[in-house]
Amino acid sequence: MNFFIRMNILKSLFNNTSTNNKTQYWLFVALLVALSIFVMLCNGITSKYYAGYDFFFHLHRLEMVIQALREGTYPFYFDYEHVEGYGYFVNGFYPDFILVPFAIVGLFTDAFFAYDFMIFTMTVLCGLIMYHTVRVVYNNRYAAAISSILYTFSMYRLYDVYHRSALAEALSFTFLPLVFLGLYYIIHGDYKKWYVLALSYILLIYTHAISSVLTFITFLVFIAVYYKSFKNEPKRIYYLLLAAGVTFIAVCYYWLPILEQVSHAGYYFNKRLPGGGAGYGKVGFDYVLWGLLSGVAYYKTKLWTGVGIVLVSVIFLRFFIKGQKSDKLRLTDLGVIIGICYIIASARIIPWGSFPLNIISFIQYPWRLYEFSTYFLAIAGGYYLSLLLVKKKQRMLWLVLIVFITMGTIYIHSLNFKEMYPKRDKWDRVRNEFPSLCNNYNIIGGEYLPAKIPYLEHISHTGIIINAKDPSTSIKSLKRYENKTRVKVVVNKPDTIALPLFYYYGYQATLNGKPVEVSESDIGLVAVPVNESGEIEAWYATTAIRKLSFYVSISVIILLIIFAIYSQRKQNRKVDEYYPE
**Domains annotated on the chain, with CATH:** 2-429 (no CATH), 464-540 (2.60.40)
For residues 148 and 32, the answer to whether their CB atoms sit within 8 Å is: yes
Rounded to two decimals, the pTM is: 0.89
Q: CA-CA distances (angstroms) from residue 332 to 87, 143, 340, 356, 379?
A: 48, 12, 12, 28, 7
Q: Which residue, 373, 352, 374, 350, is CA-closest to 361?
A: 352
Instruction: State how far the Cα of 391 lies from the Cα of 399, in Å rounded to an integer.
Output: 13
Instruction: State how far the Cα of 251 lies from the Cα of 555, in Å rounded to an integer.
Output: 11
For residues 459 and 525, the answer to whether their CB atoms sit within 8 Å is: no
pLDDT of residue 17: 42
pLDDT of residue 581: 45
pLDDT in tens, the chain (581 residues): 455 555 565 555 445 444 477 888 999 999 999 999 999 999 887 777 777 888 888 998 999 999 989 988 888 778 888 888 888 988 888 888 899 999 999 999 999 999 999 999 999 999 999 999 999 999 999 999 999 999 999 999 999 999 889 999 999 999 999 999 999 999 998 999 999 999 999 999 999 999 999 999 999 999 999 999 999 999 999 999 999 999 999 999 999 999 999 999 888 877 765 555 565 666 777 777 777 777 666 655 555 677 888 898 888 999 999 888 899 999 999 999 999 999 998 888 888 877 788 788 788 788 899 999 999 999 999 999 999 998 889 999 999 999 999 999 999 888 888 887 776 554 454 446 677 777 778 888 788 889 888 877 766 555 566 777 778 888 888 888 878 899 999 988 888 888 989 999 999 999 999 999 999 998 889 999 999 999 999 999 888 998 899 999 999 999 999 999 999 888 776 654 444 44
Q: What is the DSSP string of 440-475?
A: GGG-TT-TTSBTT---THHHHHH-S--EESSTT-EE
**Three-class SS of residue 476?**
strand
pLDDT of residue 463: 55
pLDDT of residue 227: 94
pLDDT of residue 398: 93
Write b or e for each residue in 148-172: b if 16 or more Cβ atoms lie within 10 A of its Cβ, otherwise e. bbbbbbbbbbbbbbbbbbbbbbbbb
φ, ψ of residue 517 to 5 degrees: the values are -75, 140
Q: Which residue, 159, 163, 202, is CA-closest to 179?
A: 202
Q: Cβ contacts of residue 355 below 8 Å, gap of 6+? A: none
**Three-class SS of residue 434?**
coil
Say how many C-beta atoms besides its own lie within 10 A of residue 192's C-beta.
13
